[in-house]
Chain A
Amino acid sequence: MTAASFNATLALIRDTFREAFARRIFWGFFGCCTALLLFLIFILRVDVVQGALATVSIFGNSLPSTNVQNLVQQTQSVIAMVLYFAGMALSVFASAGLVSAVFEPGRIELLLSKPISRTHILLGRYAGNVLVVAANILYLVVGSWIIFGIKTGVWGAGFLVSSLCTIFVFSVLLAVIVLVGVILDSAAVAIMVTFAIMILTPILAQKNTIERLLSSEWSRYVVRVLYYVLPKTSDISIIIRHLILNQPVESWMPVWSTALFGAGVLGIGLWRFNKRSF
């Protein structure tokens, strides 16, 4: 990568951050994360007894003593799941506008007139968008990980790894937003399609049960194809939970097949963007 190309990439990423900050939804997300961190700092009190048992008090009310490692892991897993589902939905909602804004008439022509390739423009924007969401997720996860670590002395890496999985799944869903945005120029449709995938994939994750209920072979085949082709957000949420609870992960297939889906969708989005006239 030449210096000019690197400068352009940095500019595209910085511009995405600037636009994200101009949209209040990201400040809302940031505010929620900060509120949760403040809650963990000031409200949640954990007294570690003999290094293994802990007494937890919330708003001054003590809960029964419990294993400290277990307590931290369970709490982190709850935070990770909230972040994974609610945070992801919020991120998708906020990012759809960020992607389609680039294709606005009067803005895209100027971008395309610059001496950088269309692939570079779209990937720069995509990377910027992933980094914006990653910054928010890491802020919450690393922040709460440090707070838990200081308060309890439990420093498991599973929670940190889980945040990378969340960012990874978001980057795959963002590829869908990019593709729909490039084809239809519509943030609303991009949100709808992405949410449809987010709703459909947990259902498809129950493919064994569904297949038993279906009578025809072709419909079972359709379910199987959809399951393997679409991202496996539900299966990855289970992997995240296993990582946090230090349990072995049975199969990494959901991760790599989701990565393949993301790469394929992003590839089609880039191809379409390169072919399109504005």
Chain B
Amino acid sequence: MSGFAIETEGLTRVFRNRWANTELRAVDNVSLQVPEGCTFGLLGANGAGKTTFVKMLLSSVHPTSGSARIFGRDSREAAARRPVGYLPENHRFPTYMTGWSMLDFYGALSGMDSATRRRKIPELLSTVGLDERAWNIRLGKYSKGMLQRVGLGQAMIHAPRLLVLDEPSDGVDPVGRKQIRDVLQGLEQQGVTVFLNSHLLAEVELFCRDVAIIQKGKLSLTGSVKELTSSGGYRVTACDVPEQLIPELAAQSKSHRVEHGLLDLLFTTREQANKAVDLLRASQCEIESLAATRSTLEEVFIRTVSEKQGG
């Protein structure tokens, strides 16, 4: 056992247009490791290569070079995909199926026998919050939110150890999103690895433990959400600060603001914040508050993308 649910090494996909003699490196030398039991978010702008990466992982796109492994097995082997549940983005589930028959079909393809399917389907349809009256209605009559729910159900039908979800809450109302998040959190507690591909950064921040940012096919950043968002800086607020001290403090800070007699300073490092506190205390100033600030995942994402675009 490798200890990784997903492991890619130098995964690359180049799309060539022989007529126009052009090529596009949709995914460029991506090496990524997702530990078992982890909740992992893959972020990236539109066209960054996220979906191609996921498709290579699940063998619907063949890599130009590099390799992908799922729980230590080459992802090109059909058996490697047995512990994987997948909900694609822009899915087109057959409209002639009902919620029930869809789960039955994909459950059978995942190797489940019919008795187990019959037992699990109602349980799962309830879990994903699909009203019992809709179970035997054709998917063509389902709303986008209902399709997402039943799609999530089919991904979970065979109790996978790895769930790969592409925009799982797309088109789902806020209550439904919370429900889906609760379902995923339940799976996480059972040790299921969840690989989330989503544009909803707030959702990824709420749910995922680790993230990776992919930009123009290359991996720009990986790390835990906690680490990445904790680097927001340190905020020091003080009152009764003498006028002559403000320029000195402002020079050391990332930003400063004076409002209602309070000086608000934002520092990048802890050392800078400590120095400022020493200086303020030496000048008999009162410290109103001192706190480590956090960036949002959105800020981290935009910063990373902008840095790369800037060169």
Q: How far is the CA of A105 from the CA of B164 in the complex (A)?
A: 17
**Interface residues of A, count at CB 8 A:** 32
Q: In this assembly, does B94 line the interface, its C-beta being within 8 Å of a C-beta of chain A?
A: yes
Q: In this assembly, does A188 line the interface, its C-beta being within 8 Å of a C-beta of chain B?
A: no
Q: How far is the CA of A179 from the CA of B54 in the complex (A)?
A: 27
The answer, among A4, A10, A113, for a CB contact under 8 Å with B84, is: A113
A114:B55 contact, CB within 8 angstroms: no
Q: In this assembly, does B101 line the interface, its C-beta being within 8 Å of a C-beta of chain A?
A: yes
Number of A-B contacts (CB under 8 A): 92
Q: How far is the CA of A120 from the CA of B79 in the complex (A)?
A: 13
B94:A15 contact, CB within 8 angstroms: yes
**Interface residues of B, count at CB 8 A:** 35
B60:A114 contact, CB within 8 angstroms: no
A114:B81 contact, CB within 8 angstroms: yes
The answer, among B58, B78, B112, for a CB contact under 8 Å with A109, is: B58
Q: In this assembly, does B4 line the interface, its C-beta being within 8 Å of a C-beta of chain A?
A: no
Q: How far is the CA of A110 from the CA of B80 in the complex (A)?
A: 15
A109:B60 contact, CB within 8 angstroms: yes
Query: Which chain B residues numbered 80 to 127 have a C-beta less than 8 Å away from chain A?
Result: 80-82, 84, 86, 88, 90-97, 101, 104-106, 108-114
Q: If A7-B114, A275-B62 touch, does A107 touch B81 (CB 8 Å cutoff)?
A: no
B55:A278 contact, CB within 8 angstroms: yes
Q: In this assembly, does A108 line the interface, its C-beta being within 8 Å of a C-beta of chain B?
A: yes
A105:B92 contact, CB within 8 angstroms: yes
Which chain A residue has the least Cβ–Cβ distance from B52? Answer: A277
Most buried by B among A8, A15, A18, A109: A109
The answer, among B88, B105, B113, for a CB contact under 8 Å with A3, is: B113
B110:A115 contact, CB within 8 angstroms: yes
A114:B110 contact, CB within 8 angstroms: yes
B109:A114 contact, CB within 8 angstroms: yes
Query: Which chain A residues numbered 229 to 263 have a C-beta less than 8 Å away from chain B?
Result: none
Which chain B residue has the least Cβ–Cβ distance from A107? Answer: B92
A110:B111 contact, CB within 8 angstroms: no
Interface residues of A (CB under 8 A from B): 3-4, 7-8, 10-12, 14-15, 18-19, 21-22, 101, 104-117, 120, 275, 277-278
Could you name 19 residue pairs across A and B whose Cβ atoms are closer than 8 Å? A4-B112, A11-B105, A18-B94, A19-B94, A105-B90, A107-B94, A109-B86, A109-B88, A110-B154, A111-B109, A112-B60, A113-B84, A113-B88, A114-B109, A115-B80, A277-B60, A278-B55, A278-B60, A278-B61
Interface residues of B (CB under 8 A from A): 55, 58-62, 78-82, 84, 86, 88, 90-97, 101, 104-106, 108-114, 154, 164
11 more CB-based (< 8 A) A-B contacts, given A19-B96, A115-B82: A7-B114, A8-B108, A11-B105, A105-B92, A109-B60, A109-B91, A114-B109, A115-B111, A116-B78, A117-B78, A277-B62
